[in-house]
Amino acid sequence: MKIIGGERKGGALILRNIAAVAATAVAVACFAVRLAPQAMAQKETAALAAAGFIMPDGAAQILRTGFDSEHETEEQQETGEAPGVLSEPETSRQPDSKASSSGQAPSSSAPAASGAGQKIEELQIGNAGVQYQNVYVRNSNKNHSIDIKAELQKQPAVKIKTDGSPQVLIYHTHTTEAFLTKELSAYPKDGQTRSRDNSRNVVMVGNAVEAQLRAAGIGVVHDLTVHDYPAYNGSYNRSAQTIAKNLQKYPGIQVTLDIHRDAMTTSAGVRLKPTVKVNGKKAAQIMILSGCDDDGTLGFPNWEYNLRLAVRFQKSLSDLFPGLARPLNFGPTKYNGNLTKGSLLVEVGTEVNTLDEAIYSGELLGKAIVKSLLALK
């Protein structure tokens, strides 16, 4: 799933759009360089800022080389190989057990810091795309526009109870997507972007979201089924089965959240780390994805209901924690969004964000979701 302009599943779709915008901006800047070399830097920086990036420490150079995403499209994930390396035995708990996240990363280290590796660039992905107040949406559909104000006024097909009964299903199609457990300036050559140890991967983010929902009286099922190991191909087919089983067991579930982490790498091999400070503490930036049956071929007739919920979550994130949310990614994808009228996919950080940053973002995301859902009682 990727960056500006119209983000991917996660990043991939987004990064392609962002790369296109950035490439255009850089091309204009490069032309200007031939005419006035000293003016090039100023024009290029302005063009990149207009593309939606806040660039610290020379990160503008990143956009000149293009992006690549670890995440696959729905079609690619059925035929492509899993990126990254898997390690460590899986740990698990029952879907209905209490969230165990304390908000801190465990003491065990994630990818090792030994050996020189790829450079890591930290940046904040800024606001771009269609705007209404503080809500931004990247629309990569060809046949559907979006009126954010109108969508915010529409009622989602969600009615939340706070009696403790399961209302939200949290699951992870790519359960092994992992984070760093300490901050690094370069990614180690022997680093592992994926882990079956649930104390190091996106399950910890799910735990943090779960804890916030439970504290508000919203019942949660956090399903820890591993869908991307031993086989990565077919992950979405397997997570669809997980959703179906939970909906059968808990028919009152209103919302399904597929929590991932993104990956953004330039063609020069620089790994990108999207972060923002919230209340003085670093958090991994978050991207919500909501699909659209843009040409009518996806078998996804009720996508509009997911979008209504997505813009409300986006609004809550922007109201409570400015800068935390990347523009909402609205594009021609499905990602099991057809299975309920309250299905969303969320990307938290990238493989070079730290686990603490990702867990903190999960906590903040949970608070924003609570705000939105309690308004739908």
User: pLDDT category, 353, cuts 50, 70, 90?
Assistant: very high
SS3 call for 162: coil
User: pLDDT category, 117, cuts 50, 70, 90?
Assistant: confident
> Looking at 12-21, 274-283, 348-357, which range is the least confident one?
12-21
- Domain of residue 108 covers 67-374
User: pLDDT category, 158, cuts 50, 70, 90?
Assistant: very high
pLDDT of residue 148 exceeding 80: yes
- The stretches of 177-292 forming alpha helices (DSSP H) are 203-215, 235-249
For the beta sheet containing 286-291, the strands, ordered from the edge strand earlier in sequence to the opposite edge, are 130-132, 135-139, 328-331, 286-291, 343-350, 255-262, 166-171, 219-222
151 assigned to some structural domain:
yes
Give the C-alpha separation, 230 to 245, whole Å: 21
pLDDT of residue 326 exceeding 60: yes
- Please give the average per-residue pLDDT across 182-211, as a whole number: 95
Instruction: Tell me phi and psi for residue 257, to 5 degrees.
Output: -120, 120
Q: What is the chain's mean pLDDT, rounded?
A: 79
107 assigned to some structural domain:
yes
Give the C-alpha separation, 120 to 265, whole Å: 9
Looking up residue 112, the CATH number of its domain turns out to be 3.40.630.40
pLDDT digits (tens, 9 = 90+) for 235-288: 999 999 999 999 999 999 999 999 999 999 989 999 999 999 999 999 999 999
Tokens 């089924």, located at residue: 225
240 assigned to some structural domain:
yes
pLDDT digits (tens, 9 = 90+) for 78-97: 333 344 444 433 322 333 33
pTM of the model: 0.77
Please give the helix or strand (H or E) that residue 255 lies within, else none.
Answer: strand 255-262
> Quick one: pLDDT at residue 116?
58
Give the C-alpha separation, 229 to 208, whole Å: 23
pLDDT of residue 75 exceeding 50: no
146 assigned to some structural domain:
yes
- What is residue 155's DSSP assignment? P
Measured over the CA atoms of residue 91, residue 94, residue 95 and residue 97, the dihedral's sign is: negative
59 assigned to some structural domain:
no
Please give the tally of structural domains in the chain. Answer: 1
245 assigned to some structural domain:
yes
DSSP 57-122: TTTHHHHHS-EEESSPPTTGGGTSPPPS---S------TTSPP---SS--SS-SS---S--EEEEE
> Looking at 58-72, 165-179, 188-202, 287-301, which range is the least confident one?
58-72
Tokens 């409570």, located at residue: 320
224 assigned to some structural domain:
yes
265 assigned to some structural domain:
yes
Give the C-alpha separation, 64 to 66, whole Å: 6
Instruction: Please enumerate in sequence order all residues whose Cβ is within 8 A of that of 41, keeping only pairs 6 or more positions apart, or say none.
Output: none
pLDDT of residue 180 exceeding 50: yes
